[in-house]
Structure 1
């Protein structure tokens, strides 16, 4: 993902290399090392790489990752033209011969090692200065989309822009917002403490995103750390551990309390493990799920409980039309975001607010937006991003962007939709100061 400066289709920052060189954070150091793999005087050998990546990354390249890097180097020589660090992720725009631009994207895991490193063509998002610009950017053949921009001051909320914002759509990982609400309620009630622990077991291990699925059986992790990974890193195993701790009923109550317009769409409230197992496991399970009523679906979930049989490589065809996702309208997303911010205000420990604001999704001007809450979500054929931004006067602006399609290729990896969100935030449209 690359968020370009407003008013240009492909930004070039003359100080980009200097900004990367000056970043002494763990993310900056790893990113600079990764860039030097492509720009340094010699190609790396596999023995040069092992200390910088999580083992599972290198395991996915049994023939060695150095060969991949050598192929990337063949697209150069490169010049760094933009650098965007956000929490545990970074994006570097690289310009090669004849002006061809690529994006090197990097994600650190919780140990500080590189979990994702990918080079691909730069995805350029068009300028967004008006709501018509936003519509033109999102209107794509074969893609269903909705969008909402709302302003809340005190108890009054008004829509600044809405397109099909009442239509329930699959949302991927934004379901974790309801888990966070249920957890905040349990902590407030005293039934769960932040320093309580959850235990990783085969029955609760899910697939990425995240890294908790790689912890050994029996590993105990504090609730606060687990919740942080669930929201900031969208860790699926963390989410399933939290749901197991709270119970499905408690999360379903949080859906109602969070203002969902049709809570039956989220009953039974699925874990990520269950979506993977039914969606891409035995075909008869998917057929049974599609045909069953709520009681029948609950019985199916009881029968398939156990260690995951699905691998990441099994994921392919989209399944959201079978109800195997978490369906929420843009207004539903906005309501649960607002409720969570209120939970954070009531939480005297500060944990809720710290977790919600740990990863803002795109570069955010903290002077302009002192509080920034973000959540993204994806599944094959599904992409969504949402933000709640609060200005220094306490006025809140909520931005929700949702996409779905029957063909994953039409959705892509989220770089474009996230870029559109960044464009809206930077444009000044939220606060009426469009540039």
Structure 2
């Protein structure tokens, strides 16, 4: 449920703008262009050593950069890059766009990392921005990718292949295993709404008043006024594009849990009972951030008792800081979640293709979570992801330029460790780079 699931896949390293760009701009004429370009070249070469862990981040990066991404966090991400793509070897190219900014390509052992770099001439030309958009694999293979997936912590399941040809995926493992999927469950809410629009029961322009019980971030509607009128299209768009939890709960109230459960069954979910009752996001937060006894009772009992526990729980007042604290450390009760197998999600995407109003797919495409360079390989890219500590799901629906529909879906679970999601995100990009 965190915002990690909403960040763009390929911005794997960092994109930190200088916190004081005006000051940097005011000094542009005080530093000769040749000197700036020399500084860019020097810092770009240091990025190679920085990624390899041969120099300390404090020696290269600006204070504003390190305030946003601390040194140890940077080192962790750099280790993920070198684990996936091998050591950084050299600057492949550096194409200045201004005196202190350039398009950068770094050759790694198994990829070309492409992006941008900027330096701040006001503070010793330190790196104030570093952004890798894409990683074009060199000498990569499906076998290497599968080995790296298998080596990730916890349990990982995945499938990449045609939606129409279920038996012959490009790669697949554990596709029938039920996994917690975080906010990806919101696709079931979207599918329910879009099917009711397709049958004429509802219209995207129908208005709903925002109720008093708000969920917790991610999102923005938790801070909006009571009774604010919102169309179903707006609620659905916020639910999918920024994973707005209050928008989600509003739609669940409007549609009803029973209707969403019917969608799970109709779409071919193998074990819909795992999602009974179908939780609202506020309920999930309050269960995990509330009294341990209530959570344990919920975990140990069936749907009837669980429904009783949920009755009235959303009216309980809990300070947002307590909820945030519950989700800031180790994984908590990963059996209190929303569940689907990779194959269930493939079935859902197929169900939406066949029965949902086409606006549903347009909503999925608002935030494709894919760099522009990679999107150019496809006619359509739709996405929803989900995460909380110990849980990560990435789900793409893709249409190639030949009109063939694909699904790329990956799920990871670790009940003991809060793993770094960037490793799975990097592997997803490698899969998308494969010829298919």
1:136 to 133, 136, 147: 147
2:363 to 349, 355, 362: 355
Deviation string for 1:252-305 (max 9, x for gaps)?
Answer: 101101111111111111111111010121212201101111111011111413
- Structure 2: gaps spanning 5 or more residues: 1-6, 27-62, 72-99, 106-113
In structure 2, distance between residues paired with 1:229 and 1:71: 29
Deviation string for 1:12-32 (max 9, x for gaps)?
Answer: xxxxxxxxxxxxxxxxxxx8x
- The 5 A counterparts of 1:1-80 are 35-37=17-19, 41=23, 71=67
1:196 to 187, 201, 206: 206
- The 5 A counterparts of 1:170-185 are 170-185=180-195
- Structure 1: gaps spanning 5 or more residues: 12-30, 45-66, 84-90, 106-120
Conserved in 2, the CA contact under 8 Å of 1:320 and 1:381?
Answer: no
Structure 2 match to 1:169: 179
Structure 2 match to 1:116: none
1:318 to 307, 331, 339: 331
Deviation at 1:157, TM superposition (A): 5.3
Deviation string for 1:39-79 (max 9, x for gaps)?
Answer: 653599xxxxxxxxxxxxxxxxxxxxxx967846999xx86
* Stretch deviating more after TM superposition (292-301 or 303-312): 303-312
Deviation at 1:132, TM superposition (A): 1.8
- The 5 A counterparts of 1:111-130 are 129-130=140-141
Deviation string for 1:388-427 (max 9, x for gaps)?
Answer: 11123321111111111124532x2x33322221221123
In structure 1, distance between residues paired with 2:326 and 2:143: 39
Structure 2 match to 1:419: 426
Deviation at 1:137, TM superposition (A): 2.5
Structure 1 match to 2:353: 341
Deviation string for 1:68-105 (max 9, x for gaps)?
Answer: 67846999xx865569xxxxxxx975477999989778
> Relative to 1, partners in 2 of residues 1:102 and 1:362: Cα closer, same or farther, differing over 3 Å?
farther
1:299 to 308, 324, 327: 308
Conserved in 2, the CA contact under 8 Å of 1:128 and 1:427?
Answer: no
> Relative to 1, partners in 2 of residues 1:279 and 1:70: Cα closer, same or farther, differing over 3 Å?
closer
Conserved in 1, the CA contact under 8 Å of 2:10 and 2:133?
Answer: no
Structure 2 match to 1:22: none
RMSD, aligned CA: 3.9
Structure number with bigger Rg:
2
Higher relative contact order by CA 8 Å / sep ≥ 6: 1 or 2? 2
In structure 2, distance between residues paired with 1:400 and 1:103: 31
TM-score using structure 2 length: 0.70
In structure 2, distance between residues paired with 1:36 and 1:263: 48
> Relative to 1, partners in 2 of residues 1:162 and 1:38: Cα closer, same or farther, differing over 3 Å?
farther
1:395 to 395, 398, 404: 404
Deviation string for 1:109-164 (max 9, x for gaps)?
Answer: xxxxxxxxxxxx999898683222222332346421111112134x7653221111
2:159 to 131, 142, 148: 148
1:372 to 381, 393, 398: 381
> Relative to 1, partners in 2 of residues 1:82 and 1:264: Cα closer, same or farther, differing over 3 Å?
farther
Deviation at 1:2, TM superposition (A): 7.8
> Relative to 1, partners in 2 of residues 1:424 and 1:69: Cα closer, same or farther, differing over 3 Å?
closer
Aligned length: 351
TM-score using structure 1 length: 0.70
Conserved in 1, the CA contact under 8 Å of 2:10 and 2:370?
Answer: no
In structure 2, distance between residues paired with 1:423 and 1:99: 33
Deviation at 1:387, TM superposition (A): 1.0
In structure 2, distance between residues paired with 1:358 and 1:10: 23
Deviation string for 1:310-363 (max 9, x for gaps)?
Answer: 522332442343x2111111111111122223335xx3xx42232122121112
> Relative to 1, partners in 2 of residues 1:132 and 1:320: Cα closer, same or farther, differing over 3 Å?
farther
In structure 1, distance between residues paired with 2:68 and 2:332: 34
Conserved in 1, the CA contact under 8 Å of 2:208 and 2:229?
Answer: yes
> Relative to 1, partners in 2 of residues 1:241 and 1:182: Cα closer, same or farther, differing over 3 Å?
same
Conserved in 1, the CA contact under 8 Å of 2:136 and 2:433?
Answer: no
Are 1:328 and 2:340 an aligned pair?
Answer: yes
In structure 1, distance between residues paired with 2:209 and 2:277: 23
Conserved in 2, the CA contact under 8 Å of 1:150 and 1:157?
Answer: no
Structure 1 match to 2:196: 186
Structure 2 match to 1:263: 272
